[in-house]
Amino acid sequence: MKRRTWLRGACAHCAAGLGLFAGAAEAQRISAPENWAAPSRFAKPDLATDEGGLWAMMDREETRLRRSPFVMRDAALRQYLQEIACKLSDGHCPDVRVYPVRTPFFNASMAPNGMMQVWSGLLLRVENEAQLAAVIGHELGHYLQRHTLERMRDLKDKAALGMFIGMFGLVGAIGQMALVASMFGFSRDQEREADVIGLNLMRRAGYDTAEASKVWDNLRAEAAAAHGGDPSKQSPMFATHPQSDERSATLARLAEGRSGGFVGATEYASKLQAFQFDLLDDEVKRGQYGETLVLLERLINGAPQRADYRYFRAETRRLRAAAGDVELALEDLRAAIQLGREPAQTHRCLGYILQKQEQRARASAAFAAYLERAPDAPDAGLIRSYITEGEKS
């Protein structure tokens, strides 16, 4: 099986483990958000205990994560994420450490020792701070209920335990996300519990809880594009989570009468602006073109004046090359150029399309426009060779 297929089922919680089954009394207690109370801060357990051993292993994974080249080392971005987690953590802020990780999949996870990863594919897909808070709050819900610790205690086989521990490490998580989702994903009851707690934390922090259900709706639309309209048949994300219709409806119902809080679309956009182009470039290179087009459609609808969004949609269609894609890509490229301030890569994309259509003179002109705007581009030598070939023909 190809690695790309394994990765297709990436989800927001597949690197966080399984654990405590919410009994009827507990489920009833947390069904009304105002009745839920966060536990006191967790003391670091004795190393001689099973929990202490797990914490020690997580501490080692965190040391590896800090050294990883995938960690986004922008201090302002990390501080922003840390502040959101602290707003939501209900007294647990000193124990939570958030690491933004550059890898183009929608994922967030939290280990029992307080280490949280937020992946760049998630940052690219949430539309505002409230939606980001919904995901972070959900992960905090798992942490506060100690689901991961309970799952570790359930595992008797050493090989399974080793895989479970390894999934908190970045390399293991990227390489085996779909496998982890199917084997170690939280139970549906635990997901429901974390949803309720996350909404509770959002409400207490002043966020608009109506934004939480939108995250799930957007993910389902992307997964449907990749899985023939029915993501529950192929995607581990939807196989191990509550039914999407149920989950979206439940989140929306729990938010009724509590909307109107902070959304933070402008604030979030300003924090992401410096990284968005590179993250979109990563997204296109991921090769899941159906999902990417759904994402880009949503971005363009929200900001139709953005020429860079048009370029990325054109590039996605050029690479996919399905029926009608070239014509639609050309439309987007023309629109991007007309809007102005288009990325230099817009002209390279146009050059590649014209080159394939054997319009060599026009392709050379487009490639020249690319080099004029990006003379030091890594592929400048290759593009110059295309121009030379076009002049000879």
Any idea what the CATH number is for the domain that residue 335 is in?
Answer: 1.25.40.10
> Does 143 reside within a domain?
yes
Structural domain includes residue 232: yes
Instruction: Check if the beta carbon of residue 196 is closer than 8 Å to that of residue 254.
Output: yes
* Strand 97-101 with 108-110, pairing: unpaired
Distance CA 117, CA 114 (A): 10
Instruction: Let me know if residue 270 belongs to a domain.
Output: no
For the cut 70, the answer to whether the pLDDT of residue 282 exceeds it is: yes
The C-alpha atoms of residue 368 and residue 348 are separated, in whole angstroms, by 9
Backbone angles phi, psi at 110, to 5 degrees: -140, 125
User: Minimum mean pLDDT among 92-101, 151-160, 162-171: which range?
Assistant: 162-171
| Torsions phi, psi for 357 (to 5 deg) | -80, 5
Q: Are 173 and 167 in contact (CB under 8 A)?
A: yes
- Between helix 188-205 and helix 24-31 the angle, nearest 10°, is 30
196 and 281 share a domain? no
Mean pLDDT of 313-338: 98
The answer to whether residues 34 and 170 belong to one domain is yes
Range from 65-69, 185-189, 278-282 that averages highest in pLDDT: 278-282
- Region 314-329: mean pLDDT is 97
For residues 69 and 125, state if they share a domain: yes
Per-residue model confidence (pLDDT) at position 13: 41
Alpha carbon distances (Å) from 349 to 107, 292, 372: 30, 17, 14
Indicate the residue type of 17. Answer: G
Res 72: pLDDT:
95
Question: Is the confidence at residue 295, as pLDDT, over 70?
Answer: yes
pLDDT at 268: 97
Give CA–CA dist 275/6, Å, rounded: 26
Q: Which of 91-100, 105-114, 343-352, 370-379 has the lowest mean pLDDT?
A: 105-114
Distance CA 8, CA 253 (A): 30
Last residue of a domain, one of 255, 285, 310: 255
My answer on whether 48 and 114 are in the same domain is yes
Segment (H or E) for 100? strand 97-101
Q: Which of 178, 212, 182 is nearest to 197 (CA)?
A: 212
Which amino acid type is present at position 293?
L
Task: Determine the Cα–Cα distance for residues 269 and 291; give it in Å rounded to an integer.
Answer: 21
Q: Residue 269: inside a domain, yes or no?
A: no
Q: Tell me, yes or no, whether 73 and 222 share the same domain.
A: yes
- Rounded Cα–Cα distance for residues 287 and 240 (Å): 24
Top-confidence residue, 88 or 35 = 88
Which DSSP letter does residue 105 get? S
Question: Is residue 268, in this structure, part of any structural domain at all?
Answer: no
- The stretch 117-123 carries a mean pLDDT of 94
Q: Which residue has the tokens 């007294």?
A: 91
Looking at the fold, whether 246 and 373 belong to one and the same domain comes out as no
In terms of residue numbers, what domain contains 387?
275-392
Tell me what the mean pLDDT of segment 134-161 comes to. 78
- Look at phi and psi of residue 340 and say left if phi exceeds 0, alpha if psi is from -120 to 50, else beta: left
Our count of domains for the chain comes to 2
Of 189, 220, 255, the residue at which a domain comes to its end is 255
Q: Which residues contact 28 (CB under 8 A, 6 or more apart)?
A: none
DSSP class of residue 114? S
Query: pTM here?
Result: 0.84
Alpha-carbon distance 4 to 17, whole Å? 22
How many alpha carbons lie under 13 Å from residue 65 in its C-beta half-sphere? 29
Average pLDDT over residues 349-360: 96
Q: How far apart are CA 135 and CA 116, in angstroms?
A: 11
Q: Is residue 267 part of a domain?
A: no
| H/E element, 296 | helix 289-302
The first and second tokens of residue 333, run together, are 């490229």
pLDDT of residue 149: 75
Read off the amino acid at residue 331.
E
Domain match, 286 and 241 both: no
385 within some domain: yes
User: Which whole-number Å values give the CA distances from 16 to 173, 178, 224, in the listed order?
Assistant: 10, 13, 24
Residues 286, 147: one domain?
no
Residue 69 lies in a domain: yes
| Residue 16 shares a structural domain with residue 47 | yes
DSSP code of residue 154? H
In this structure, of 151-155, 297-301, 318-322, 335-339, the range with the lowest mean pLDDT score is: 151-155
Scanning the structure block, which residue is given the tokens 């996350």? Answer: 198
Residue that wins the pLDDT comparison between 366 and 50: 366
| Domain co-membership, 341 together with 215 | no
- Tell whether 314 and 166 lie within a shared domain: no
| Range with lowest mean pLDDT among 188-197, 269-278, 374-383 | 188-197
Q: Which pLDDT score, from 0 to 100, does residue 26 have?
A: 41
Place of tokens 């301030």: 341
Q: Look at residues 221, 255, 289 and tell me which one is the last residue of a structural domain.
A: 255
Flag whether pLDDT at 177 surpasses 80.
no
Query: Does residue 146 share a domain with residue 179?
Result: yes
* Widest CA span in the chain: 79
Asked if the model's pLDDT at residue 52 lies above 60, the reply is yes
Q: Is the pLDDT of residue 47 over 80?
A: yes
Cβ–Cβ under 8 Å, residues 87 and 133: yes
Mean pLDDT of the chain: 82
